[in-house]
Structure 1
Amino acid sequence: MTLAPIEASRRTRELCALAPIVPVLVVDDVASARPLAEALVAGGLPVLEVTLRTPTALDAIREMSTVPGGYVGAGTLVTPEDVRAAKAAGATFGVSPGATDELLAACAKENLPLLPGAATASEAMRLLAQGFDMIKFFPAEASGGAPALKAIGAPLPQITFCPTGGVSPQNAETYLKLNNVLCAGGSWVAPKEMVKAGRWGDIEALAKAASQLGKI
């Protein structure tokens, strides 16, 4: 039985509602995967996106998926092969920079909830027509930032977005204040230098601060 887009969007929406920021992670060393996930979850960011940009990404997903209270997804899904590998590694959801019919079909077949990417109204409308109403706005800043996303949302109030790409502590609140934004993806909560040095307490502190964004 395949996962219908409406159900996929419902599941990804539930995950996106758990915290205002979804850490977008590039894991170079699998040894850092579990303590990194533990620090982020302890800081109040339970939903984690591990991008498939390094040779260790799938092993990192396997390690992180064992952390209590965490929900680990695979980002940068581009091909059906990516989808199958992510699901086998223990990913509970997927994130893609864009969307193709082949990718959507693979996620449905593997029962992997997907947060598909769109950068324009036409791309968002195409996904909406297929049943997706929870969408990643990517690349957010390069596509016009919060003003562009606000403009897209006016004629498409049925769609909720997770902007990713260029989101930072300086502009995250601007995105989170938009009516059509549920959460945002950001990489600043896990700086490479902190991960490399094993500064898990500092990363937990960054996560705690990010978990409060949009709540005031």
Structure 2
Amino acid sequence: MTVEITSAEELRELVGAPMPRAVTKERVVLHERDRQWLAASPFCLVATAGADGSCDVSPKGDPAGFVTVLDEVTLAIPERPGNRRADGYRNILENPHVGLIFLIPGRTDTLRINGRARLIREAPWFDDMVVRGHRPILAIEVAVEQIFYHCAKAFLRSELWQPQTWQPDVLPPRPRLVKEVESVPDTLAELERRYGPEYLKSLYR
């Protein structure tokens, strides 16, 4: 029998009250340690939701420090060439609330920042976001509303950073997956060429 939770009161009764430290760790201004974390992070996840509640989580990655800290309550994430779906960007136009998780490889804790975003198509700080000759055509500017560090338990349970647990070959390589699950006219050989050495050359163009 499936039993659904239907109220906040029922949920709280089930999971219990949060530890005081979990509540008081929230901040609204970037600390120097937050700036250092952002300078060391090469990867983040950007969660958005549209006006209708439909959600998107988009990975963003670049050399460490790709996020620009504009001041103690504002940061910016550059656009890089992708598939042009722009799901998260369209969500931001409808609903500015975003959730960010910043990772540092090998670290089991993460930095979480929530806030309100807007899309910027030009600003003086775009010049600071150039990587391999690519100057972003837009950036996500985030006004910080909530900051805190998230504990390591999820990473420890999953053993995410433990190389002995990695199984990259548990599924077919990217070209075969695309051929099997997506409606594409390309042959497998064409997809293998697309996702081969040439793919690395297209990261910033």
When the two structures are superposed, what TM-score results if normalisation uses the length of structure 1? 0.20
Larger Rg computed on CA atoms: 2
More helix per residue: 1
More strand per residue: 2
The one of the two structures with greater contact order (alpha-carbon pairs below 8 A, sep at least 6) is 1
